[in-house]
Amino acid sequence: MKNNVKMIRIMTVGFVMGLLLVSNIYGQTGTGTIPKIVEKNGRHALLVDGQPFIMLGGQAHNSSGWPGMLPQVWMAIKTMHANTLEVPIYWEQIEAQPGKFNFSLVDTLLKQGREHKVHLVLLWFATWKNGSSHYMPEWMKREASKYPNLTGRNGQPVDSPSPHIQAAMEADAKAFAAVMGFLKKSDTQHTVLMVQVENEPGSWGSVRDYSPEAQKLFEGQVPSELLKPDVLKSLNKPADSKGTWHDVFGENADEYFHAWSVARYIGYVAAAGKAVYPLPLYVNASLRDPLKNPPASTYESGGATDNVIPIWKVAAPAIDLVAPDIYMPGSEQALKVIELYDRPDNPLFVPETGSSQEYARYMYDVFARGGLGFSPFGIDDNGQGASEAEITARLEPIAQEYTMIEPMMRELAKWGFDGKIKAVVERDDHAEQTIDLGSWQAVVSFGTSGRRSEQTNTRPIGKAMVVKLGENEFVLIGSLCHFTFHPLGSNTGKAWQYLKVEEGKYENGTFNLLRIRNGDETDWGGPRFGALPAVLHTTLILR
């Protein structure tokens, strides 16, 4: 009898602890703490239940936010081991009748997110979706004269909304505020972590609006907010510049005017929503080549491309961050983009990218910088009837990483926020890279390796992270790479060795040992990582 009581007590304590652990990983404890972004020494963290959190995300296809499509979406999320689903919500569905709001789809998403213990980032597809206005409700589409598109340089119609239409802006702001009001009321569990306002706003096909109203504004004075010396400096203009858009910004005037106009509009919509419920809000950007300074006519003008981030910051203070959608072929460009969007005034978040191993490697750079999250686009099969096995195979590169990170997500988030992580990503030239760790330099080469020889990776998909826990103590994480070390400073050239290399997993705050790696697994310089990512708790010693 006594034993039974003891057993029940143990089981009850175990159950409660289990619940706490599950809630620690997924949040949604209903503690009443709203997700928020904090900053420390120029680094950022997304706090969920009061602690740094990394969104291991996956984004559904554009038309997959409907109940009949969601089973495939959840299957993809599960197979990826994602903790966050990014999913669109549609203005045309939410406000099909003017002023009458229908939140049934949002409600379904909230309920199913909780059932699957997965957080949500909602994407407000409204005035802008990839530069066009195709998610505007039907009643607005039918009133083109009240809600017009912009006019091209030669007077031609362009399939992109004008950012100068007060009625459209007010309508969008009203609907967005209603969405945020619904979340405030219905999401006390904080299933929703962030909301994306619009989707890749800006314009394809015209650098700006050339309608008579827009032209009048363009010929007016640049607003005083943009004429502050620090803002002008960040845009490479003299600190005392003033006058018209052309006077101040010269050849960039058309694009900068459009960026200001689009950002002001979205800033207004965001502020209306934030006043109701202050969740973190962001805007995603279709990118330009970050290395070549191309003309704005070759990319989506007016969006938050790297060159106009300072304009977006001034024009839309209710937007917490602008985020790059990374679909770039080359490692130099992609890594440059990550660097450019990781700013003291802009938390890093990659809300869209590809799901191949080439894209998965960038996750390491993002998390080392204390990024808030990472998410491949189009995770579900988009109604094509793919089998679970096919979806699983497609998402395998991301799933491998998320499976390894998921149980240590809270540690990684904290280490990233504290600046303890450094990462290297295999570049397209496969070159060896070094990481300065204070008393030690880590040297990382990429490839699959036998005991003494290395075979270069055929594709540039290797990656490595080092977490500095102490002067001689590191967590090494990686795949398809090989580590070695050199003592630095006054110890340069001295003999050294591995005191211990432990392979295992961080689970709920504890490192659980799988094996001690030694012999072939650490000789010839140091540990090798194969195709499957691994976590090594490593201590070095001078001899």
CB of 146 to ligand DGJ, least distance (A): 26
Query: From residue 338 to residue 377, what is the string marking binding to ligand DGJ with x (rule CB under 6 A)?
Result: --------------x------------------------x
With tokens 């505020």, the residue in question is 177
CB of 220 to ligand DGJ, least distance (A): 32
CB of 255 to ligand DGJ, least distance (A): 20
| E strands present in 136-292 | 149-151, 157-161, 192-199, 281-285
Nearest residue to the partner ligand DGJ, using Cβ? 200
CA 453 → CA 50, 164, 517, 525, distances in Å? 47, 63, 19, 11
In this complex, which beta carbon is closest to ligand DGJ, that of residue 182 or of residue 377? 377
In this complex, which beta carbon is closest to ligand DGJ, that of residue 132 or of residue 162? 132
Give helix 166-186 / helix 104-115 axis angle, nearest 10°.
40
| Residues in binding contact with ligand DGJ, number by CB under 6 A | 7
Residue 151 interacting with ligand DGJ (CB under 6 A): no
Residue 401 interacting with ligand DGJ (CB under 6 A): no
In this complex, which beta carbon is closest to ligand DGJ, that of residue 200 or of residue 255? 200
Going by C-alpha positions, the residue among 426, 414, 410, 323 that lies closest to residue 370 is: 414
CA 345 → CA 267, 342, 370, distances in Å? 16, 8, 13
Among 28, 127, 130, 479, binds ligand DGJ (CB under 6 A): 130
In this complex, which beta carbon is closest to ligand DGJ, that of residue 120 or of residue 464? 120
In this complex, which beta carbon is closest to ligand DGJ, that of residue 87 or of residue 424? 87
Going by C-alpha positions, the residue among 232, 269, 320 that lies closest to residue 128 is: 269
Going by C-alpha positions, the residue among 446, 453, 452 that lies closest to residue 431 is: 446
d(CA 174, CA 154): 33
CB of 88 to ligand DGJ, least distance (A): 8
d(CA 371, CA 347): 7
Q: Are 26 and 119 in contact (CB under 8 A)?
A: yes
Residue 132 interacting with ligand DGJ (CB under 6 A): no
With tokens 């001078």, the residue in question is 542
In this complex, which beta carbon is closest to ligand DGJ, that of residue 130 or of residue 445? 130
Please report, as residue ranges, which positions from 36 to 95 form the binding site for ligand DGJ (by CB under 6 A).
62
Q: Are 118 and 84 in contact (CB under 8 A)?
A: yes
Residue 200 interacting with ligand DGJ (CB under 6 A): yes
Going by C-alpha positions, the residue among 528, 518, 503 that lies closest to residue 453 is: 528
CB of 200 to ligand DGJ, least distance (A): 4
d(CA 194, CA 200): 16
Among 49, 95, 325, 381, binds ligand DGJ (CB under 6 A): 325
Which residues pair with residue 100 across a beta bridge?
Answer: 97
CB of 130 to ligand DGJ, least distance (A): 5
Residue 199 interacting with ligand DGJ (CB under 6 A): yes
Query: From residue 280 to residue 319, what is the string marking binding to ligand DGJ with x (rule CB under 6 A)?
Result: ----------------------------------------
CB of 125 to ligand DGJ, least distance (A): 8
CB of 370 to ligand DGJ, least distance (A): 24
CB of 284 to ligand DGJ, least distance (A): 6
d(CA 9, CA 256): 66
In this complex, which beta carbon is closest to ligand DGJ, that of residue 200 or of residue 209? 200
CB of 61 to ligand DGJ, least distance (A): 8
Q: Are 130 and 283 in contact (CB under 8 A)?
A: no
Q: How long is the chain? A: 543
In this complex, which beta carbon is closest to ligand DGJ, that of residue 254 or of residue 325? 325
CB of 72 to ligand DGJ, least distance (A): 17
CB of 314 to ligand DGJ, least distance (A): 24
In this complex, which beta carbon is closest to ligand DGJ, that of residue 200 or of residue 306? 200
In this complex, which beta carbon is closest to ligand DGJ, that of residue 377 or of residue 474? 377
Give helix 409-417 / helix 2-26 axis angle, nearest 10°.
50
Helix, strand, or coil here: 428? Answer: coil
Helices (H), 27-150: 70-80, 91-94, 104-115, 138-141
Going by C-alpha positions, the residue among 84, 93, 92 that lies closest to residue 147 is: 92
Strands 55-59, 373-374: parallel, antiparallel or unpaired by DSSP?
Answer: parallel
Residues ≥6 apart with Cβ < 8 Å to 356: 397
What are the residues binding ligand DGJ (CB under 6 A)? 62, 130, 199-200, 325, 352, 377
